[in-house]
Amino acid sequence: MKGALAIFAKTPGISPVKTRLAADIGVEKAEEFYHLSLKSIEEVASRAQEISENNLTPYWALAEEKSGTNALWQKFPTIWTGEGDLGNRLHNIYSNLLKTHDFVVMIGSDSPQLTPELLIDASKLLAKNNCVIGSSIDGGFYLFAAKIVIAKNIWMDVKYSEDTTLDQLVKQLNKHDISAEILSKQGDVDTIADLEDLMRSLEDNDNLLPAQMNLQKWLGL
């Protein structure tokens, strides 16, 4: 099977990024982190594409309609998420990419500790599951992968950025007889406390990619 890997991202300087983190450490430092996080995710995705022998194709899923020419986004093809809340954007990206791929994996840009192997393993689980979800420590999800059509109302009937977001999503899927394989918990970065958790995750990885090493050095400053 050939799949798409959609990385949700915003363009610094056009859209505010990591606003809660910026409230803790300042806008400049928050944008520094975001750039380093993007580079880490980019290398992880590129390596996953290589390991999969191009059976997993990365895309930048961008919040802004006309930012695809920005230098940040030259590594992968870009696709606009569309307008509206997160549920609408998730639906747009998932449904559009599923038209041209056998499955779709969606991740954010604020979990730079993810590994290529995790993305590949999630993809492989779709051989026996219609849906795979990576659960976040904060109650949300850092990864969503599936190979079937998912109705728009499933995405729209979930309240995001809550400690029950994952539970709500699973409940909506179950209502439509869609079961999900749940992956082990991972963190994402919203606040300064999350940076400490990220540092520990990177320290526990003996096979960091170069961009992740750069992020690790920045966190140690």
With tokens 């728009």, the residue in question is 152
- Provide the pLDDT for residue 69: 86
Task: Examine the pLDDT at 32 and tell me if it is beyond 80.
Answer: yes
Q: What is the average pLDDT across 190-207? A: 94
Least confident stretch, 33-37, 51-55, 140-144, 217-221: 217-221
Nearest-CA neighbor of 75 among 59, 89, 61, 91? 59
Q: How far apart are CA 40 and CA 43, in angstroms?
A: 5
Joined tokens for residue 115: 């590994």
Q: Enter the DSSP assignment of 158.
A: S
Unique residue bearing structure tokens 């993007």: 38
For 2, phi then psi, to 5°, come to -110, 130
Task: Summarize the confidence of residues 115-138 as an average pLDDT.
Answer: 96
Is a pLDDT exceeding 80 seen at residue 7?
Answer: yes
| Calculated CA dihedral for residues 26, 89, 194, 220, nearest 10 degrees | -60
Q: In which element (H, E) is residue 8 found?
A: strand 3-9
Domains of the chain: 3-219 (3.90.550.10)
Q: For position 67, what pLDDT does the model report?
A: 86
Residue range 90-116: average pLDDT?
A: 97
Please name which of 109, 86, 116, 107 lies closest in space to residue 34, comparing C-alpha atoms: 109
Q: Mind listing the pLDDT tens digit for each residue in 51-75?
A: 999 999 999 999 999 888 899 999 9
How far apart CA 45 and CA 6 sit, in angstroms, is 9
* Beta-sheet strands, E only, within 45-170: 56-62, 78-80, 103-107, 131-136, 141-146
CA distances from 13 to 24, 30, 34, 96, 214 (A): 19, 12, 12, 27, 22
Per the CB < 8 A criterion, the answer to whether 36 and 218 are in contact is yes
